Amino acid sequence: MNEEKILDRVRKLLALANDERGNETERETALRQAHAMLSKHGLDLAAVEAHEREKLDPRGRFQTEGWSMGWTRQVRQSIARLFMCVYVVGGKVNGTKERAYFIGRESNATTAMYMSTYVVENILKEGRRLYKHNLSPETRSFAQGCASRLRQRVDEMIAAKAKEADATPGNAIALVALAQLEEDANREFMSSWATKTMRSRSVTVDRGAYAAGRAHGDRIGLNMQVAKPSTLQLR
């Protein structure tokens, strides 16, 4: 048996061992068989838990399309980090839209993808209200300021989570380990296919609009809960 089949078998044995409807002898036998199988193949319960999570919350690349302006990429990259994902550009759709991917656990990537869409549209809506057009120099400066502040807020939120967990060393270690594990796994997942790194270009900004954008960035909520949509594409 390969490792996946072994872990599936162990998972079923453990489920049987914990099923209170079974008799005590059957449950004890199932538990002994599960531990014997793990020992025989050099595995442990952590491997079973990781396998179970892969079944329930698989890692994937989730395709989306969005505006190709540089500040929109910054927003998506920041929110991807907040949810332990990676955001990469896949290529142009047309002159103003691009295809891209969120890489990570399905639950994390789905939330990051839809939250970023919400945030980008929120910024565009406020920019239109203030400056009357999506592509005016003032709107671009406003959006850039907002994206910059959101990036800082994400950094602050990640640092705050680590500080909070640090109150109990075991939790801090678990948090750091989980974040590193997810980053490594996402990079490994990406290693077999080509991705694009987009260079940021220096732009001249309107200082007033940029400052207004940073202020608006403080008002955008980053705790939105979203449901998994039926249109999600897992590749």
Express each pLDDT in 130-184 by its tens digit.
998 878 899 999 999 999 999 999 999 888 877 776 666 555 545 666 677 788 8
Q: What is the largest CA-CA distance in the chain?
A: 75
The answer to the question of residue 42 being in a domain is yes
C-beta contacts of 66-69 below 8 A and 24+ residues apart: 66/97, 66/98, 66/100, 66/116, 66/117, 66/120, 67/96, 67/97, 67/98, 67/120, 67/124, 68/92, 68/96, 68/97, 68/98, 69/140, 69/143
What share of the chain in percent tops pLDDT 90?
33
What are 70-94's pLDDT values in tens digits? 999 999 999 999 999 999 988 889 9
Q: Are 14 and 113 members of one domain? A: no
Q: Are 68 and 136 members of one domain? A: yes
Q: Are 47 and 69 members of one domain? A: no
Q: Are 203 and 188 members of one domain? A: yes
Model confidence band, residue 227 (pLDDT cutoffs 50, 70, 90): very low
Q: Are 75 and 177 members of one domain? A: yes
Closest residue by Cα to residue 154 from 71, 104, 83: 83
Closest residue by Cα to residue 65 from 38, 39, 34, 102: 102
pLDDT at residue 56, rounded to an integer:
77
The answer to the question of residue 234 being in a domain is no
Radius of gyration, alpha carbons of the chain: 23
Report the half-sphere exposure of 186 (CA within 13 A, side-chain side): 25
The answer to the question of residue 232 being in a domain is no
Q: Are 164 and 206 members of one domain? A: yes
Q: What global pTM score does this model have?
A: 0.73
In the three-class reduction of DSSP (H, G, I as helix; E, B as strand; rest coil), residue 198 is classed as coil
pLDDT at residue 139, rounded to an integer:
94
The answer to the question of residue 233 being in a domain is no
Q: Please name every residue paired with 105 in a beta bridge, in sequence order, or none if there are none.
A: 59
Q: Are 46 and 117 members of one domain? A: no
Q: Are 41 and 75 members of one domain? A: no
Q: Please name every residue paired with 60 in a beta bridge, in sequence order, or none if there are none.
A: 104
DSSP 8-state secondary structure symbol assigned to residue 196? B
The answer to the question of residue 230 being in a domain is no
What domain count does the chain have?
Answer: 2
Q: At 214, phi and psi to the nearest 5?
A: -65, -40
Mean pLDDT of 214-221: 94
The answer to the question of residue 226 being in a domain is no
Q: Are 150 and 51 members of one domain? A: no
Q: Are 167 and 67 members of one domain? A: yes
Model confidence band, residue 229 (pLDDT cutoffs 50, 70, 90): very low
Model confidence band, residue 206 (pLDDT cutoffs 50, 70, 90): very high
User: Do the Cβ atoms of 216 and 123 come closer than 8 Å?
Assistant: yes
Residue 203 has pLDDT above 80, yes or no: no
- In sequence order, the 6+-apart residues with CB closer than 8 A to the CB of 29 are none
**One-letter amino acid for residue 34 of the chain:** A
Per the model's pLDDT, the better-predicted residue between 106 and 228 turns out to be 106
Residue 111 has pLDDT above 60, yes or no: yes
Q: Cβ–Cβ contacts within 10 Å for residue 209, how many?
A: 23
Identify the domain containing residue 22 by its residue range.
3-55
Q: Are 140 and 82 members of one domain? A: yes
Q: Are 92 and 187 members of one domain? A: yes
d(CA 213, CA 205): 11
**One-letter amino acid for residue 8 of the chain:** D
Mean pLDDT of 113-140: 91
The answer to the question of residue 225 being in a domain is no
The answer to the question of residue 137 being in a domain is yes
> How far is residue 157 CA from its own chain's centroid?
14
